[in-house]
Structure 1
Amino acid sequence: MRTLDHPMPDHIRIDTVLSALADPIRRRIVNQLADGHDDQACIAFALPVSKSTSTHHFRVLREAGIIEQRYQGTAILNSLRRAALDQLFPGLLEAVIAAERSAAITAMPGG
């Protein structure tokens, strides 16, 4: 069975997490995972980038410890590592998600 490497919780660092979340495409991925169900396939994300760039963004999030990825057949399923992040950095993930939602509302016509 194919597996992907993920950092152990005690190896997740705030600077790596913040760096990963600095990119708007990666915040969009995190928001979709927060709003949807766990285990969303990479193809479920309508990102305005090429497939190779999309793969890069998912890898950065995984290596930062923000998401977990696992293979199911040929698909890679993604989920937030919410419990680990909340334990390490209380309130950070919710603040990022809330800020992204607020920015999305502001960007809407009439918002």
Structure 2
Amino acid sequence: MTTPAVSSRDLPHPVREEIRLESVLHALSDPLRLQIVRELAAASGELSCSHFDLPVTKSTSTHHFRVLRESGVLRQDYRGTAKMNGLRRDDLDDLFPGLLDTLLDAAARQAARLRSN
């Protein structure tokens, strides 16, 4: 069952057993969401939403983060006024071994190929 929001500052996240492969793949199919996940994977810890320089409006950015959170790809928590984001790598690696690393490697290779063209 999805963790319910207790207050307006608590954000609902699916529990590990609710994370579905098709939801994860859908979330990662968007280039901006994949960029967010690549940055989180490269970071040593959590990153605030304001860290990401996305070429979209704030409302569109919020939508992308919500899709990633609701699919179980990332966890979001408020720290003061900042919304912090962390990759749910342990959950994803447990449920779908090798998937995240394979997708991140493929995205890095594609980015390098596109830069060289």
Determine if the TM-score, normalized by the shorter chain, exceeds 0.5: yes
RMSD (CA atoms): 1.2
Q: Which has the higher contact order (CA 8 A, sep 6+)?
A: 1
Paired residue type of 2:104: I
Select the residue among 8, 24, 28 that pairs with 1:17: 24
Distance in 2 (alpha carbons) for counterparts of 1:88 and 1:14? 9
Distance in 2 (alpha carbons) for counterparts of 1:46 and 1:15? 27
CA apart distance, 1:107: 1.5
CA apart distance, 1:108: 1.4
Note the residue ranges of structure 2 that are not aligned, 5 or more in a row: 1-6
Number of the residue aligned with 1:44: 51
TM-score by length of 2: 0.90
Number of the residue aligned with 1:26: 33
Paired residue type of 1:68: R
Give 1:1-111 correspondences, 5 Å limit: 2-109=9-116
Paired residue type of 2:97: P
Distance in 2 (alpha carbons) for counterparts of 1:48 and 1:95? 26
CA apart distance, 1:37: 2.4
Number of corresponding residues: 110
Residue deviations 1:10-65 (CA, integer Å, cap 9, x gap):
00001111111110100000000001122100010011111110100000000000
Paired residue type of 1:13: R
Paired residue type of 1:70: D
**Runs ≥4 residues deviating over 2 A:** none
Distance in 1 (alpha carbons) for counterparts of 2:34 and 2:43? 14
Percent of residue pairs identical: 50
